[in-house]
Structure 1
Amino acid sequence: MRPKQTLILGLILLLPVLAFLFLKTFGTNRFALPTYLPDRVDSTQVGGEWQRDTVFHTLGDFRLPSQSGRLVTQQDLNGGVYVANFFFTTCPGACPRMNSQLMRVQEKFRKDPRVKLVSYTVDPEHDSVAVLARYAERYGAIAGKWFFLTGNKAELYRLATQEFRLEAPSGAAPGIVHSQNLYLVDRDKRVRGIYDGTKAKEVERLITEISILLYNYDHDKSSR
């Protein structure tokens, strides 16, 4: 066999091996979501060179009663992702639209225990456990899936302003901070998405990005 023919035959035989190695290395689709709420920028030395690395905020713990009266903490949300929002039951406009959109999210991930919803009231003086129980029933909240939380006003204000970094809208009553934003929180308790909860297209994007996070977790070899 001539050298040229031998080379061609060798390449033909090698192609399947190269294709396999390519697919094994690069064949898994990965989608990178941004991370929000930066805390600081650190400098680290890698290979003799200094590199700047952004450190993002990790949400702190809380301990608040839900609509059932059971105390809920960050530990109840471990192992998966959750969608957080701030509302109050007497809110006439944005809150009902936002919670109606959250019903769609709940239904989409009804059978996936890794996805939960957390709605913090910003008016705990009115929104007692009993009031939240009736409110949650209105939106079909599934027990253990969608938590409506109340509690100490100072603690809720801290969560809104220090953890999620909300600012009081102009004209709001003192100590009242609310927003029509929805926040996607990953399993490391970092905010990975912020959405306008009153807009259907934004909630479609939220649903897609929840699916992306779950897909990445399912294919994350480092966590196995």
Structure 2
Amino acid sequence: MRYFIELSYNGKNYHGWQIQPDAISVQEEINNAINKILQSNIAIVGAGRTDAGVHASQMYAHFDTSKIIDANFTYKLNVVLPNDIVIYNTIPVAEDAHARFDAVSRSYEYKIWLGRNPFLLDTTWQLHHKYKNINVELMNEAATILLEYEDFECFSKVKTDVHTFICEISNAKWVLNENELTFHITANRFLRNMVRAIVGTLLDVGMGKISVNDFKKIIESKNRSNAGLSVPAKGLFLTNVAYNYI
């Protein structure tokens, strides 16, 4: 039987989602918890990968088991797991359902705090006085340009093993709520480091370092060295993974 689990995690203490040698990962922690409960050797498959320090307010993964999953399984998982990983639901699905390949869209948010806040140090990138006059309207004008393109090689991590840089972005906008500035973006898929590079480049627009037209030229250049900095991981959240059957 195949099951989906819906979960969230604070990525501060993890070297990303995916299992890797000599480093703690979210995937490994969940594998260990499931195997401890079911007394089996199960490996979960996630909806995607998040880098070290990146958070997820919604993530899905699937696993297969011949064991009976009782009504208390989700509760048991949360007892075994560390407090910074939480399982919300365990959902029986079709045998061919796939957490990664069946996802029709993924959404991220990048959270910036304009000023200082000691309670948000781990979940926002805090910018101080030099960003006080940032032009959010110009940043949104540039963000809409993303929907006109499909090739985002300029925002991809260099030396990546992907076969295509094509992504279909359906939403990209900034929302300013007092001191909290949040970038929202949705696409069918994302390249490694893509959101953090987009945010860094859009901030250059907002600071007047580059124009909206320059932003367009950067996309067309397909050259990562032309884009802005990759902003810190701690402000990035995977917020939604959408399927046609959940």
Q: Normalising by structure 2, what TM-score? A: 0.23
Q: Which has the higher helix share?
A: 1
